[in-house]
Amino acid sequence: MGKKRLTMRRKESIYGYIFVMPWIIGFLAFTAGPLVFSFMASFTNYNITSQMDFVGVDNYQGLFTEDSLFWTSLWNTLYFVAFSVPLTTIGAILLSALLNQDIPGIRFFRTLYYLPAVLSGVGVYLLWMQLLDPGTGMVNLILSWFNIDGPSWLFDPDWTKPSLILMKMWSVGGSMLLYLASMQGVSKSLYEAAEIDGANTWKQFRHITIPMITPVIFFDVVTSLIGGFQIFQEAYVMSSNGEGGPANSLLFYNLYMWRQAFENFNMGYAMAMSWILFVIVFVLTLINLKLAPRWVHYEGEEK
């Protein structure tokens, strides 16, 4: 009996491995293998031809001490992340609070606000290039109605990054839906109890809704931080074939890495850059995880 059970279990295990095998193969071939190669090659002067000499930490040292564009690209990326992550997070939370109400047409509104989030790619970037065009675009036209003399957006180094952040705000509906789903999971009885205690709408939002959705806020912040550091396409398309915009103001980290890897073929150098990015993202995620217990509220924790 015992023996038969064991063989059953082994048989199950074999099935298990067969089912996850495609992922294991894909992981080894397209993730783990490339990671190992990239790490080793980051200590060489690899340039995709046969040249691959060990150069120690030269790539890393060069990036930190001799490459001013590296610092420019890092600064641009930090700037973008520092503004876009909080703005889109707060925007999404406020929007989902407005959309979590029982008012006429609410389903229509939800659909409408979500729509921009599914649109992406070159079509959207071209649309925003037109919208932000200082002479013929819509944004400055609307600003002029309020007697505001709009900036030159993508042509002014001070305004290029805010342009991209504005574009991101338009598609805030994606994370809005995440928050909305979580808000709808908050028990009605909590609000009813608060009402009896005389708490007003703002207090209810502040002391019930926000704490209850902190797990989703946490998830959203972590993923949008990781995503924000990887901004590339927007800058590539909106700065004419990846030139990096006026005064390199759109030269983001990944854009500079792209240039080093696929335009200059400094592969070893670019791979060293990618590992620095990896470490930055990893450390930030760890910090987030460490800070989480201080503000993220998990249901059933107190029990």
Partner 1 sequence: MAKTTDDASYVEKKDGLKTLSGTNKNPGYFEHRGNRKNMLKLINFILLAAGSLLILSPLWWMISTSLKTMAEVMSFPPTFFPESWNWSNYIRTWEAAPFTRYTINTLTITTLVVIGNVISNSFIAYGFAKIPFRGKNVLFAIVLATMMIPGFVTLIPQYVLFAKLNWVNTYFPLVVPAFFGSAFNIFLLRQFYMTIPNELIEAAKMEGANHFYIWWKIGLPLTKPAIATVAIFSFNGAWNDFLGPLLYLNDENLYTLQIGLQVFKGQMSTQWNYLMAGSLLVLLPVILLFFFFQKYFIQGINLQSGGK
Q: Does 210 bind partner 1 (CB under 8 A)?
A: no
Of 51, 61, 111, 264, the one binding partner 1 by CB under 8 A = 111
Q: Does 188 bind partner 1 (CB under 8 A)?
A: yes
Mask of contacts with partner 1, 114-153, x by CB under 8 A? xxx-xxxxxxx-xxx-xx-x-xxxx--xx-x---------
Q: Does 31 bind partner 1 (CB under 8 A)?
A: yes
If one counts every other C-beta atom within 10 angstroms of the C-beta of residue 207, the result is 13
Q: Which is nearer to partner 1, 75 or 226 (CB)?
A: 226
With CB under 8 A, what is the number of residues at the site for partner 1?
101
- Rounded to 10°, the helix 210-229/267-295 angle is 170
Q: Does 45 bind partner 1 (CB under 8 A)?
A: no
Of 6, 12, 90, 291, the one binding partner 1 by CB under 8 A = 12
Q: Does 265 bind partner 1 (CB under 8 A)?
A: no
38 CA to centre of own chain: 23
DSSP state of 205: I
The Cα 181–Cα 212 span in angstroms is 12
**By CB under 8 A, which span of 56-64, 77-85, 147-155, 273-281 interacts with partner 1?**
273-281
**By CB under 8 A, which span of 27-35, 71-79, 82-90, 152-160 interacts with partner 1?**
27-35
Q: Which is nearer to partner 1, 13 or 61 (CB)?
A: 13
Q: Does 282 bind partner 1 (CB under 8 A)?
A: yes
Q: Does 264 bind partner 1 (CB under 8 A)?
A: no
Q: Does 216 bind partner 1 (CB under 8 A)?
A: yes
Q: Which is nearer to partner 1, 72 or 242 (CB)?
A: 242
Classify the C-alpha dihedral 108-113-114-120 as positive or negative: positive
Q: Does 189 bind partner 1 (CB under 8 A)?
A: yes
Q: Does 29 bind partner 1 (CB under 8 A)?
A: yes
Q: Does 41 bind partner 1 (CB under 8 A)?
A: yes
Q: Does 203 bind partner 1 (CB under 8 A)?
A: no
If one counts every other C-beta atom within 10 angstroms of the C-beta of residue 187, the result is 11
Q: What is the DSSP string of 137-163?
A: -HHHHHHHHTT-----GGGSTTTHHHH
Classify the C-alpha dihedral 291-295-301-303 as positive or negative: positive
**By CB under 8 A, which span of 12-20, 63-71, 74-82, 148-156 interacts with partner 1?**
12-20
Q: Does 37 bind partner 1 (CB under 8 A)?
A: yes
Q: Is 170 buried (19+), middle (13-18) or exposed (0-12) by CB count in 10 A? A: middle
Q: Nearest distance from residue 299's CB to partner 1, in Å?
A: 11
Written as six digits, the tokens of 209 are 């809704």
Alpha helices in the chain (DSSP H): 2-27, 33-41, 58-66, 68-99, 106-118, 122-131, 138-145, 160-170, 173-184, 188-196, 201-204, 210-229, 233-238, 253-258, 267-295
Inter-residue contact 111 to 104 (CB < 8 Å):
no
Q: Does 287 bind partner 1 (CB under 8 A)?
A: no
Of 80, 113, 153, 159, the one binding partner 1 by CB under 8 A = 113
Q: Which residues pair with 44 in a beta bridge?
A: 54
Mask of contacts with partner 1, 150-179, x by CB under 8 A? --------------------x--xx--xx-
